[in-house]
Amino acid sequence: MSIDPGFHDVPRMETLQACRIDIPRPCCLVIFGASGDLTRQKLIPAVYRLFRQKFLPPGFFILGVGRTEMDSERFRELLHGEIPPDCNGDCWYEFAALLHYRTVSYGAPESFRSNIAGVLPPLEQSAGTGGNRIFYLATPPGVYEDIISSLRLAGLAGGSDSSVKIVVEKPFGSDLESARRLNAIILEVFRENQVYRIDHYLAKETVQNILMFRFANSLFEPLWNRRYIDHVQITAAESIGIERRAGYFEQAGVLRDMFQNHMFQLLALTAMEPPSLFTANRVRDEKAKVLQSVRPVPLDRLDEHVVTGQYGRGTVNGMEVKGYREEEGTAPGSSTPTYAALKLWIDNWRWNGVPFYLRSGKRLKSRRTEIAITFRPVPHMMFSRDMSGRIEPNALILRVQPGEGITMEIQAKNPGSRMCLMPVNLDFTYPRDVALSDYERVLLDCMEGDQMLFVREDGVDLSWALLTPVIEALEKFPSARALPDYEAGSEGPAAAAALPARDGRRWRPL
Ligand code: NDP
Ligand code: BG6
């Protein structure tokens, strides 16, 4: 049984408002690949919401660029049609005046000269953006090198000038070597303080809260170590499949798609030491130290540390869905993993002997991203004589989504004459209307020049260094299990249970 004793701590709205938003400096946003899905589905809706909430700087405009031939009017129409219902189109026409479009060819610097370098100055002058420019790479990664080179040759990269920034979308490379090459290409033209590598998980409200929660409360940090914590489970379960992204996902698989970035970032934030200052570089230094301390997965005992799987047909939320191999664009005999579970150890004083179990998969029973810290059982259970059944140890659940918030699972006496314990949840849920969406947060922080929520070069390098040998070994010696090995709408492959079970533990139910 579980009850919620009504411990809802809803923060005072004015406190949240007061500490939440700094209106950034005027700037322009130049989006490459502006005819694409990311721009329509994520970027423009996010900027539009910021505009409606009056969080954009007074001087602001967007220049969309791409190979597609269209004029600014057509660009505005295209985007208007995509504004989701929750975005409410009440001030769309006012917003649309800030949108412009020009056609360029990514590998042709002369088209950048005429259609970007030649177009920006008059727009900047009339908007008063003072030369602050953000270049947002919203194309497939294969085009990044051409764009960066054309920016340089067209004189748009701006040397070491931090008023010019470049935003790089994921995936950031497909292995250690390609990530290093991409970093080298970017850093030949831009400095690290101009580079914003996106991991949209870092911009989720609860992910940002991990550090506040850990380091602004004296209650938890003394317990946050091997002495009191039994193990940590990090879950990013999705009920959706691969949508229309087979071309990308077939190459990537879940380890590249979710672990190299989102899962390892969650791990780093959960396990890091307190930085001396809450600044981008101090926080990123501490995250890097965690990744440096993760013990490389032993490739000769891979199956004790990694389980992968692929979904077959099944029922998700009452709907019958296809198996992965039946999705449009996947190969009939594809062995691309859509699920992975990983056991990792962190070799440092704080975490020695505490396993971190990570799992992520598509087409699972429910959509749930959470970090579950399970504490050790009490040293002596004096109630065990009077009670039957297992008494669950305390757990602290950081709910990333849905229902962003924090739950503390504790034991309490069940009211009544019998001696009986019951689990009770102390629950904090974020008020819905105050959170910025991940892309709103990312865009605002980039405009403000705050790199805290963006991944630094060494963060990318370290996570690929851990994962690349594992992916290569899995690709070289695929599991003997027949695929698909889990039904859509299930908890994942049965084999995944063995990972914690080998240590006498089990996954939390999805
Ligand atoms: P799209 O496939 O929609 O491509 C965006 C635009 O890039 C296209 O409209 C096209 O514009 C141009 N483009 C596409 N393919 C090529 C090519 N082979 N050569 C040159 N130009 C090309 O991608 P998305 O918008 O979905 O994603 C953009 C980036 O964002 C990717 O790196 C993706 O991984 C990342 N991302 C996307 C998410 C999403 O929800 N869509 C979520 C997270 C990350 P034009 O022809 O006009 O030049
Ligand atoms: C993206 C992955 O980075 O994150 C997708 O490419 C995944 O495959 C998505 O579905 C999950 O993000 P969110 O915010 O919906 O949890």
What is the per-residue pLDDT for 287? 97
User: Which pLDDT band, with edges at 50, 70 and 90, does 433 fall under?
Assistant: low
Dist. CA 370 → ligand 2 center (Å) = 14
Calculate helix-pair angle for 280-293, 264-271, nearest 10 degrees.
Answer: 100
Q: Which of 458, 211, 236 is nearest to 361 (CA)?
A: 236
What is the per-residue pLDDT for 40? 92
For the segment 423-444, the average pLDDT, to the nearest whole number, is 85
Alpha helices, DSSP H only, in 221-261?
Answer: 246-254
Question: What pLDDT, in 10s, does the model give residues 449-465?
Answer: 999 999 999 999 999 99
Architecture label for domain 12-169: 3-Layer(aba) Sandwich (3.40)
Establish whether residue 238 lines the binding site of ligand 2, counting it when its CB lies within 6 angstroms of any ligand atom.
yes
Ordered by start, the domain boundaries in the chain are 12-169, 202-432+455-501
And the tokens for 280? Answer: 């981008």
Mean pLDDT of the chain: 91
Dist. CA 85 → ligand 2 center (Å) = 21
- CA distance to 67, 375, 462, per residue, from 230 (Å): 54, 5, 26
Establish whether residue 257 lines the binding site of ligand 2, counting it when its CB lies within 6 angstroms of any ligand atom.
yes
Which ligand places an atom closest to the C-alpha of 404? 2
Which ligand places an atom closest to the C-alpha of 260? 2
Q: CA-to-CA distance for 220 and 228, rounded, in angstroms?
A: 11
Question: What pLDDT, in 10s, does the model give residues 316-333?
Answer: 999 999 999 999 999 999
Return the ligand 1 atom nearest residue 40 CA: 25
CB-defined site of ligand 1, < 6 Å: 33, 35-38, 41-42, 66-68, 106, 138-143, 169-171
Task: Say if strands 319-321 and 311-316 run parallel, antiparallel, or are unpaired.
Answer: antiparallel
Ligand 1, atom 42, lies closest to the CA of 38
Dist. CA 306 → ligand 1 center (Å) = 31
Establish whether residue 370 lines the binding site of ligand 2, counting it when its CB lies within 6 angstroms of any ligand atom.
no
Task: Say if strands 60-66 and 27-32 run parallel, antiparallel, or are unpaired.
Answer: parallel
Dist. CA 257 → ligand 2 center (Å) = 8
Return the ligand 1 atom nearest residue 39 CA: 25
Kindly tell me if the per-residue pLDDT of 6 is higher than 90.
Answer: no
Residue 162, CA atoms < 13 Å, CB-side half-sphere:
10
For the segment 346-361, the average pLDDT, to the nearest whole number, is 98
Establish whether residue 286 lines the binding site of ligand 2, counting it when its CB lies within 6 angstroms of any ligand atom.
no
In CATH, the number for domain 202-432+455-501 is 3.30.360.10
Which ligand places an atom closest to the C-alpha of 247? 1
DSSP tag of 111:
H
User: Which pLDDT band, with edges at 50, 70 and 90, does 508 fall under?
Assistant: very high
User: Which pLDDT band, with edges at 50, 70 and 90, does 386 fall under?
Assistant: low
Ligand 2, atom 9, lies closest to the CA of 258
Dist. CA 440 → ligand 2 center (Å) = 16
Return the ligand 1 atom nearest residue 42 CA: 40
Question: What pLDDT, in 10s, does the model give residues 225-244?
Answer: 999 999 999 999 999 999 98
Length of the chain: 510
The answer to whether 129 touches 61, Cβ cutoff 8 Å, is yes
Ligand 1, atom 1, lies closest to the CA of 36
Q: Which residues are catalytic?
A: 262
Taking every pair of Cα atoms in the chain, the longest distance, rounded to a whole number of angstroms, is 84
Dist. CA 251 → ligand 1 center (Å) = 15
Kindly tell me if the per-residue pLDDT of 367 is higher than 50.
Answer: yes
Q: CA-to-CA distance for 210 and 267, rounded, in angstroms?
A: 11
Residue with more model confidence, 88 or 303:
303
Give Cβ neighbours of residue 336 (< 8 Å, ≥ 6 apart).
249, 250, 252, 253, 310, 324, 330
Dist. CA 140 → ligand 1 center (Å) = 4
Pocket test for ligand 1, best of 37, 105, 144 (most atoms within 8 A of CB): 37
Which ligand places an atom closest to the C-alpha of 252? 2
The burial of 126, by beta-carbon neighbours within 10 Å (0-12 exposed, 13-18 middle, 19 or more buried), is given as exposed
